[in-house]
Amino acid sequence: MAQTDSLRIPHSPLSFLTFAPDARSAAMGEAGVALSPDANSTYWNAAKLPYNSKDFGVSASYTPWLRNLVDDMWLGYISAYKKLDDKQAVAVSVNYFNNGELDLRDGAGTNLGYFSSREFALNGTYSRQLGKNFSMGLTLKYISSNLAGNAVINGVSLKTARTAAGDISAYYRKQYNNEDTGGEFTWSLGAVLSNLGGKINYGSGSETENFIPTNLKIGGGLSFSADGRNKFNFIADVSKLMVPTPDGTTRINDKGALAGAFGSFSDAPDGFKEEIQELAIAAGAEYWYNDIFAIRGGYFGEHKNKSGRKFFTAGAGIRFADRYAVDFAYMFPIAQNSPLAQTLRISLGLYLNKAEKLDISDEK
């Protein structure tokens, strides 16, 4: 209601499903559809999982959210995959978002109590390599959003909203190796249709029904190493939030889930020009030394009429003992006094092959 008529910004609850959960991609402008695979491919592009060099991997990520404003909101993500053979893999993951403690009040300002708001998604994934260089993945999700418990606000009885959704992903990778120098060159393409499913309802009628953040991402990547020690990766994503564009007159939530999602490519009042404005771009690069240490940077941008988020990112990563991974990312918003200022992420990972044994008592 606070927006002017000139700002028609597609919006949706369950925004936590669109937050970059891991530090590696977050440091590269929040791009990752065509990035080389790791345990967090379950979020960015599950079709990449069969290309992991290790048979098993697990990653845990933590992000204090809006920490420049509050101290009790955070995003957590845990993901684990297992390769069944050289061509297929399964995975499970959990997105968890703590909205902090809410002071619930009605329109007159009367206190209705306090509530700890929580949201989460449980995800199961299967991916398979369909050719030498091509693979696809499927993820099914159970989503729960408990924003205010069973409170009654302005005459509306709220409830925990639940729904199911899925991701469909595809990945193509072509790699060239120079056995004499140890060098390699790889190019990759990826596409992900995420959070495709039914609408979510926080009450008992259509007034509290909303679209979930269905998202289409298409990305490309290049990786180059002349000597096998110094490697450079470059990636870029283009994304589109598949939610109807509000026009100020139509009740967009009256549309069906699929009609609203796929109709979002042609429903902007100003036509193709406005549809292009609804695309977000993300790009990043990373440098690896001997597959041990990495430094990263990136950029994310949206049109000023469509949320207008713009920020640079930076980060670093380290791998040791050929098993363990630690990554860190930091965001630098362009706008002054941005609520996203001081956003940081940290991720920890473990990767093993079938023949390897993990001995936590082995100090070496």
Express each pLDDT in 110-128 by its tens digit.
887 788 889 999 999 999 9
Q: Residue 176 is encoded by which pair of tokens?
A: 């060239």
Residue 163 pLDDT more than 70?
yes
**Alpha-carbon distance 221 to 197, whole Å?**
29
Backbone φ and ψ of 49, nearest 5° = -55, -40
**Radius of gyration, CA atoms only, the chain:** 21
Q: What pLDDT is attached to residue 207?
A: 66
Q: What pLDDT is attached to residue 1?
A: 45
Look at the alpha carbons of 1, 20, 72, 58 in this order and tell me if their dihedral is positive or negative.
Answer: positive
Residue 357 pLDDT more than 60?
no
Domains present along the chain, CATH in parentheses: 15-352 (2.40.160.40)
- State the average pLDDT over residues 69-79: 94
- Which residues pair with residue 325 across a beta bridge? 319, 349
**Chain centroid offset of residue 274 CA:** 24
Which of the four pLDDT bands, split at 50, 70 and 90, describes residue 133? very high
**Alpha-carbon distance 94 to 182, whole Å?**
38
Length reported for the chain: 364
Query: What is the signed CA dihedral for 345, 190, 236, 182, rounded to 10 degrees?
Result: 90
For 226-364, strand residue ranges (E) read 230-241, 279-289, 293-301, 310-320, 324-333, 344-352
Q: What pLDDT is attached to residue 248?
A: 74
- Identify whether the C-beta of residue 224 lies closer than 8 Å to the C-beta of residue 232: yes
Residue 55 pLDDT more than 90?
yes
Q: What pLDDT is attached to residue 356?
A: 64
**Alpha-carbon distance 280 to 149, whole Å?**
34
**Alpha-carbon distance 243 to 239, whole Å?**
12
Residue 359 pLDDT more than 70?
no
Q: What pLDDT is attached to residue 364?
A: 44
Q: What pLDDT is attached to residue 349?
A: 97
C-alpha distances in Å from residue 306, one per residue of 205, 206, 302: 29, 26, 6
- State the average pLDDT over residues 75-80: 98
- Identify whether the C-beta of residue 59 lies closer than 8 Å to the C-beta of residue 347: yes
The more confident residue out of 143 and 254 is 143
Residue 86 pLDDT more than 70?
yes
The mean pLDDT of the chain is 90
**Alpha-carbon distance 86 to 55, whole Å?**
9
Backbone φ and ψ of 130, nearest 5° = -95, -15
- Identify whether the C-beta of residue 302 lies closer than 8 Å to the C-beta of residue 334: no
Q: Residue 153 is encoded by which pair of tokens?
A: 């606000």
Backbone φ and ψ of 183, nearest 5° = -80, 160
In the chain, what percentage of residues exceed pLDDT 90? 67
